[in-house]
Structure formats: structure tokens, C-alpha cells
Chain A
Amino acid sequence: MMSKTKFWSAENPRIKELVFVLKKMRSSPLSIVGLSIVVFFTILAILAPVLAPPQTDRDPYIMPRTGYSPTPKPPSSENIFGTTEGQYDLYYGVIWGARAAYRIGLLVVAVSAIIGIVVGGLAGYYKGVIDEVLMRLTDIILAFPGLILAMAFVVAFGRGLDSITLALILVWWPSYARLIRGEFLRVTAEDFVEAAKAVGCSDLRIMLRHVLPNTIFPMIIMASLDIGSVTLTAAALSFLGLGAPAGYSDWGQIISLSRNWITGVPGNPFAYWHAYIIPGIFLFLFVIGWNLLGDALRDILDPMIRRR
């Protein structure tokens, strides 16, 4: 803000920090792998309309089908990843599935994090009764197993991707609220918060300018690890038949379509391997990519392991 040095010069501490992070990342092969996978899926999601152009004016997330036969067809020149039950095109499905995964993952994590920041922040900053009330509320939700509670919510809201998103947000925010509360408790005990009060800053300003930025690293790490697990949970709900409607480009839903074919035919258990292996690999790579990236960020951002 006050800096007179040019923004892009190597002198700028923010740029120095970025260079440091990139250097740190280069020295660890796993973080490179994680980052590349995440970048790959991001490009896939952005370029989905180019890589797999929608053929009709209908919802582009609905996979095109080439027939109504239940038996999945193996990869061919026409459908390079083959088709699954109901002749839905797998290539189209997995590519648009990346978009669907990002849509759910980012939305759930972002909204949960915001709710978590507000709830946890208020609880950790004001302490006392506010803390007690807000934290008992989060405890109520944390008392139920996440997946089961999410299923209950989805059943209550009605089937669909939006219900899954909403249900996952409702299940996910308490862990953020807890993390943020703990971090707020830690940071508000620091002298510089007292000093900011002594300067005459308002509570809101102290929370936003001094406390929140000092709690943000654990948040970033948790969020990046969570994008993978949210996607996985959403896929599980879809697989159980609670999520996206049949034919929707969602990896969990695509795998669920192949449920009847997983055992193959007598004598050849892998006859229809492509119907579940291909979407499975995409889901697996997406989750592991985000987990590796999250781990890498933890190593880099953890102040204990850092140079200073």
C-alpha cells in the first residue's frame, strides 16, 4: 500500500514471498505432482466446452447418448472412452465432470469457510457467552457422522446436485468454525491486538485487518485439503443415488451408472472395466491432486518448518 518500490520488482516483499514459495515447491517432487494435477483439472474444467462441445441446447452437463441399450460399449473411434449403461458418452462425462467437481468442491469449501470465519471469528474474538452459544451449535452438528447427516439433509431437500451442495455446506462449516475460533483465540492473545486497540481501532477493523490475516494460512491449507474430500463425499452421495440425476456429468453419478457391470461377465470380471475405471481414475486423481497440493502448502506455510 505504502510501497514506493515497483510492484513487480524483486524488492517487493510480496513478490519475494511468492518466489520463496515457488522455490520451496520445486524442491519437493510430490508438490509438483499435486500442483500439475490440479492445474490439469483446472484447464480441463475451463476448456470443457472446447474439448467436448455440447451437441444440444439442453443443460450442457447432461451427457449425450448414442442409444438406449443398457450394455456399456468399450472404447472405440466414435466414443474414445467407450459408453456406459444407457449409451452415455464417457469422454464427455469425465470432462464435464471436472467442471461439476469444481462447482461442488469450490462452492462448498468457499461457503463453509465464510460461515466458519463469521461464526468462529465472532466466538473467538468476543469469547464468553457468544463463544459458548456458537460453539455448542457447531458441536451439535459435529456430533453426527458427516456423511449420514448429509444424506439426511439431501433426503429432506430432495434429490439433486444443489441439494448435495447445500447439505455438504451444512455439514462442513463446523470444522472451519472450530479452526477459526482456535486461531482467533491464539491471535487475540497477541500483544499487537492489544496495541491495535490502544491505537483506537474498532473491533471490526481489528478482526479484519489484524486477526483474520494472521489466521489465514491454516485456513488455506484446510481448504485445499477439503476440496478433494468434499468432491469425494459428493461423489459418494451421487453413487448412493442421492445426487445428480441419471446422465448428469458427475463422476460419482457416472460410476453409479456402472454399478450393475462392476462384476463383469462370468469368466471375465473386467469385461466392462472402462465404465467404472475411467471415471474412477479421474475422481482419484482429482482428490489426490488436491491432497498433495494441500500437503505441500502445509509444508511451505507452516511457520515451524519455515526458515525464520
Chain B
Amino acid sequence: MLTMTLAENEQLKVEDLIVRFYTYEGIVKAVEKANLNLRKGETLGVVGETGSGKSVTALTIMALTPTPGKVEGGHIYFRRSTGEIVDVLTLKEEGLLKIRGKEISMIFQEPNAALDPLYTVGDQIAEAILTHRLPEMLEKVGRLEGEETKGLWAFLEKLPVFKGSIKKRLLNEVVRQEIVELLKLMEIPDPERVVDAYPHELSGGMQQRIVIAIALACSPTLLLADEPTTNLDVTVQAQILDLIMRLKRKFGTSVIYITHDMGVIAEISDRVAVMYAGRVVEVAPTMEIFKNPLHPYTRALLESIPRPGLSFKAIPGTVPNLVNPPSGCRFHPRCSYAMERCSRETPELREISKEHLVACFLHGGA
């Protein structure tokens, strides 16, 4: 039924997504008709200021819209690993539990906060593995079991208290091996020791590697990275970016990378989507965005990157209050090219040249 909604090479498509937050101050129109698409194996960078709806969009892709947010419209089509195409927003909870962590997973901004302080790193990775890959692990256990059932253990197995203890022990061992392998992939030194460490015993960079390990434990087809390097040192940041990109290629994962750092975008993404006040205003290949930015907001964003020797321009005004967003194009009060029409009508995202989409009346918007 939904097969026609995704093109052959597309992994994910967000269509006219509307997310609103019902707060005491009023209805916050956090995401208003946002459109995005992501191809298989591609890295899409999503840029925008704080409050532009980047993170809300990402969480909504997993159907985890933070309360009191409500999805008020739109579709999120996702191609499952089975080839089936689903609309995430219409899935039941049981269906979502099978997708979350297995086919779509997420890397969070604060590695320190994203790990439960009470469990060891190993336990937390094991949770992801045991939630989605238990049959596979049990199969491995089954292969080992034959060799182990002799001697003292075989005797203990006959006692009611110890029934199933061999299986449990073997499962622990198998999962542990799996975790150590995963940690090695994450380039964590001394993985045998780190497995038993608690999150607070690790540095920020190490913690983020663990969070990435959890996200990749089930080799997902889509990885959502929500500013994963914002809180890290620049050197660590480079390492983590490098790691994500290498793992992405290894697992063939598609990535949506959310950030407000244009430098990071330039480095890792194939295409860029620029969000402003809950709308996607421009989508283009990375080189194109930097060479030929069309939307006035994208231009302003690029000009506001500080460069040595050049004075940088801040964008005048502030991000609009999304309870009462400006009419028409939401950027028009801050836009130096604003026309009278901009405050009346909302420009649609349309393709200007190949692969380059922009929502602005300056560029043939209707």
C-alpha cells in the first residue's frame, strides 16, 4: 500500500510533518510542515539554530516526540530492513519497540546523561543486544552448550535451583564477547576492563563511544545523531566524527546528523537540510550549499561563521517565538530581501536546479 511513497533509493521520507507543543503559554508550533528525505547510505546534515525543530524532528522519526508535544499531521515513511515500508506515525507501540534501537537508533548530545549511572557500560550495551538480538545470541549459546554439559556443571544442572544456570552463564559469556568486540570497533582501549566500568569512571569521549556502541549494537539502517560532538573537546570531536563516518560505511547505515556547526556539516554530510523555525528552508548537496546558498537564511548562517581577517555578520533579530510565529515566511522579519508578499504567503519548498530545493519567493517560489 505504501510502496509508492518511497523512491527506490530512499530510506526515509518526512512529509509535511507538524508537531505542536501544548504548554501554558500557548501552542508552540515547533515543527510546521517539515519535509525531508534521506537516501540509502547517505549522510544528511540538518542545520539550524536552537529551537528550529531539529531535535524534535529527529525524536519524532522514532515516534518519541517529547511531551507535551503532539504530532498533528504529516507522514514519516521508513523502509524497514525487510523491505517493507511503514509510516512510523501510524505504528502501534509493539511495532515501534521492534524498530527502535534495532532499525533506527539515536546518539545523544550529552553522553554523560544518556547513560544510566547505576549500571556498568557492559550492562547497558547488553540491554540493547538482549532486547533485539536474543534469538541470535541463544543460537550461539546452543552451539556452545553441547561442549559444556559435563562434569560438575552437568551435575548441578540436575538440581532444581541451578536449572538453566549453564545457559545463563553461557549467555552472559556470549553477550560479553559480543560487547568486547563492539568496544574494539569503537576503538576503546582495554575493552575487557571498560565493560565493567561505570559511566562516571570514563571520560566524555569514551562515554560518547559507549553511546555510539549502544546505538550500533544491532546494526541499524538509520542512525540519528543529535549533536553528538557538541560537548566534546575539538580533538575528541574529530575522533568521534571520524569513528561515526567509518562505522557508517562499515554497517551501510544512513545517517541524519543534527548540528549547528557548519564546519562539521562540511566535513561529513552528503547533503544538507537547513531548518528555520520549524520549517525546512533549503536542501542541497553540501558543496552546493557552501558555494551557492540561495535562501537568505542559509546565506546569513554562512556569513555568521567567524573567519580570521573578516568581520562576521550576526543575523539581526532573534529566533521567533513559536507560540506566535510570523505570518507567511517565518524568516521575513529578519530577512533583508523581504517583500510585501513574504508576510502574506508561505513559500513552498521547490526544486530550483538539480538536487537544490529552496523555499523562498526570491527563487521562483510560488
Contacts and interface: CB of A to CB of B under 8 A. Distances in A.
A18 interface: no
B114 A192 contact: yes
B116 A214 contact: yes
A194 B214 CA distance: 13
A127 B97 contact: no
Contact of B128 (A127, A199, A210): A199
B101 interface: yes
A201 B127 contact: yes
Contact of A4 (B59, B114, B116, B196): B196
Contact of B99 (A190, A194, A200): A200
Residue in B97, B102, B123 with the greatest tally of chain A CB atoms within 10 Å: B97
Given A1-B172, A4-B176, A192 B116 contact: yes
B123 to A, nearest CB: 6
Interface in B115-130: 115-118, 120, 122-123, 126-128
Interface in B177-220: 179, 192, 195-196, 198, 200, 211, 214-215
Contacts of A127: 67
A85 to B, nearest CB: 52
Contact of A191 (B114, B122, B175): B114
Interface in B27-67: 59, 62, 64, 66-67
B23 to A, nearest CB: 14
Contact of B64 (A4, A13, A198, A202): A198
A194 B108 contact: yes
B118 A195 contact: no
B110 interface: yes
Residue in A196, A213, A308 with the greatest tally of chain B CB atoms within 10 Å: A196
A265 to B, nearest CB: 62
A213 B118 CA distance: 8
B106 to A, nearest CB: 4
A15 to B, nearest CB: 13
Contacts of B117: 192, 214
Nearest to B131: A200
Contacts of A202: 97
Residue in A127, A209, A308 with the greatest tally of chain B CB atoms within 10 Å: A209
Nearest to A188: B67
Nearest to A202: B97
A197 B108 contact: no
A: contact size bracket: 20 to 34
A56 B200 CA distance: 59
Contacts of A128: 67
Contacts of B110: 191
Contact of B200 (A194, A209, A308): A308
Interface string A1-19: 1111100000001000000
Interface residues of B, number: 43
A192 B64 contact: no
B116 A2 contact: no
B105 interface: yes
Contact of B113 (A192, A196, A199, A210): A192
B167 interface: no
B172 A210 contact: no
Nearest to A210: B116
B118 A3 contact: no
B159 to A, nearest CB: 20
A200 B101 contact: yes
B113 A190 contact: yes
Residue in A196, A198, A308 with the greatest tally of chain B CB atoms within 10 Å: A198
B100 interface: yes
Contacts of A5: 196
Nearest to B100: A200
A2 B176 contact: yes
A107 B253 CA distance: 54
A201 B93 CA distance: 11
Given A3-B196, A4-B196, A198 B97 contact: no
A197 B64 contact: yes
B98 interface: yes
Nearest to B96: A200
B97 A200 contact: yes
Interface in B130-148: 131-132
A2 B175 contact: yes
Contacts of B105: 198-199
A128 B100 CA distance: 24
Given A198-B106, A199-B101, A199-B131, A2 B172 contact: yes
Nearest to A126: B67
A2 B106 CA distance: 24
Contacts of B67: 127-128
Contact of A194 (B64, B101, B102, B122): B64
Contacts of A1: 123, 126, 172
B254 to A, nearest CB: 16
Contacts of A214: 116-118
Contacts of B97: 200-202
Contacts of B132: 200
B227 to A, nearest CB: 12
Contacts of B64: 194, 197-198
Interface string A70-94: 0000000000000000000000000
B108 A191 contact: yes
B146 to A, nearest CB: 23
Nearest to B172: A2
A171 B62 CA distance: 42
Interface of A: 1-5, 13, 127-128, 190-192, 194-202, 209-210, 213-214, 308
Interface of B: 59, 62, 64, 66-67, 96-102, 105-106, 108-110, 113-118, 120, 122-123, 126-128, 131-132, 172, 175-176, 179, 192, 195-196, 198, 200, 211, 214-215
Q: Which 5 A-B pairs have the closest CB atoms?
A: A200-B101, A191-B113, A199-B101, A200-B100, A2-B122
